[in-house]
Amino acid sequence: MATVPSVSNSITVRLEVPARGNAVSMITTAVESSGGSVTGLDVTASGHERLRIDVTVAASSVAHGEEIVEKLRAIDGVAIGKVSDRTFLMHLGGKIEMSAKHPIRNRDDLSMIYTPGVARVCMAIAENPDDARRLTIKRNTVAVVTDGSAVLGLGNIGPKAALPVMEGKAALFKRFAGIDAWPLCLDTQDTDQIVEIVKAIAPGFAGINLEDISAPRCFEIEARLREALDIPVFHDDQHGTAIVVLAALTNALRVVGKEFGRVRVVMSGAGAAGTAILKLLLAAGVRHAVVADVHGVVHPSRTDLAQAPEDSALRWIAEHTNPEGVTGTLKDAVRGADVFIGVSAPNVLDGEDVAAMAEDAVVFALANPDPEVDPAVARQTAAVVATGRSDFPNQINNVLVFPGVFRGLLDAQSRNVNTEMMLAAARALAATVQEDQLNANYIIPSVFHPDVAKTVAAAVREAAQATGSAPAHTPAGTIGITEGADGVAPAL
């Protein structure tokens, strides 16, 4: 699949050029003839003989950016100065920070925010631990926990290299849901140690967001933490992905006029994301699902399943899918299918495979950055196509899910996350696309849609209360304060 210039690979090049002549037009021509895109051109200094110009260029890769710089260097009379990678500049010093909510201007402020006044608040919490939600950051704080073992599509790169992703996640929590999230990158990949560490830090948080932990360990870690903690534990790679896929599929089936209970779904990928998607689709009413992994279609008679642990995700998939007993390869399984969902590897299907699917087929090729089938090719015969990329319509992005889900969980003071909440979140997300907006190229809203987070949050909050996962009302007030809808006020 051909790559296209992207802001994620943009650079700013400082050049000095002759003040007269056609140097500026030669710069833009050089960039565009190299396959780049000029997104900004600013004169930063001017003299009688020379101009200093900052040219911002979108490239398709790091190597492509270097090629463009060399093309600019070859222009007669042009001198190259500093070359800045705009993405790296944004990450300098990190992307998040802690800030105080109240100014510390004098001794009075100091004595209330810190000692001696803080001791009274400590004792109030010691007498009533539930008050920690009302008198500390706990009420609005989520831990973003990783061991760096499955970071994006980069693999096991470790906790330090995972930190930029976790910082970004924390920034998105704040931007879209007003939640304070803290990156916790653990220097261990031992399941027992991870569970014990998260249990130990849990008192300071109202929710745990597990991130980029490899399968199958992620299943055990999540299950054990959910059992041990009285706050919700959400593995975004599993459940966030499942929710947004279900929401998008809900609207895709509306476009093609098909129903969950009647369509045949074929999935590529039996890891953490694939298993979670499958479970949520089955809960939503899918009855005919087939899953394939690197060894082919998953079915109970497959020889390698004999070595799989009885409680493994692969065994579960074999027991709960494929009612028709399909065998063979992914390409075999996808023939005649109504829906293809890929969370696996690039280029496992081609145009002929998509053409062999049922009429008005739906294709979700979500491997990123290179999907299971070229979206442009899939669109030639499929009715609806979605990817995980931002440069095609219908981007399936977890950012649509986790801010609103956690906002709802925190507002409800929920103790866990259950299937009903995830179904409610998916229905709410799908419903943000109005009937008069729905079409094959718009089955899921933009991450910047103003109603997404609050709509999802409201649905999750109601589901938490309806399923008994949250208190029916706010706990009784703390010593000396009452709390209303707008926050904490002095008690009368």
Q: Which fold, 6-91?
A: Alpha-Beta Plaits (3.30.70)
Single-letter amino acid, residue 271: G
pLDDT of residue 473: 59
DSSP states of 422-478: HHHHHHHHHHTS-TTT-BTTBSS--TT-TTHHHHHHHHHHHHHHHTTSS-SSPPPPP
Active site residues: 114, 169
Going by DSSP bridges, is the β-strand pair 264-268/339-342 parallel, antiparallel, or unpaired? parallel
Task: Give CA–CA dist 164/170, Å, rounded.
Answer: 10
Residue pair 268/340 in contact (Cβ under 8 Å)? The answer is yes
What residues does CATH 3.40.50.10380 cover in the chain? 138-231
Residues in the chain with pLDDT values less than 70: 1-3, 310-311, 472-492
310-154-199 Cα angle (round to 5)? 55
Q: In the CATH scheme, what architecture does the domain 238-479 have?
A: 3-Layer(aba) Sandwich (3.40)
Among 365, 436, 367, 368, which residue's Cα sits nearest to residue 394?
365
Place of tokens 């831990």: 143
Q: Exposed, middle or buried: residue 108 (CB in 10 Å: 0-12, 13-18, 19+)? A: exposed
Give the pLDDT confidence of 12-62 residue by residue, as tens digits: 999 998 887 787 888 999 999 999 999 988 888 888 888 899 999 999 889
What residues does CATH 3.40.50.720 cover in the chain? 238-479
Give the pLDDT confidence of 436-488 residue by residue, as tens digits: 999 999 999 998 999 999 999 999 999 999 999 888 654 444 445 545 444 44
Domain 138-231 has CATH 3.20.20.70: no
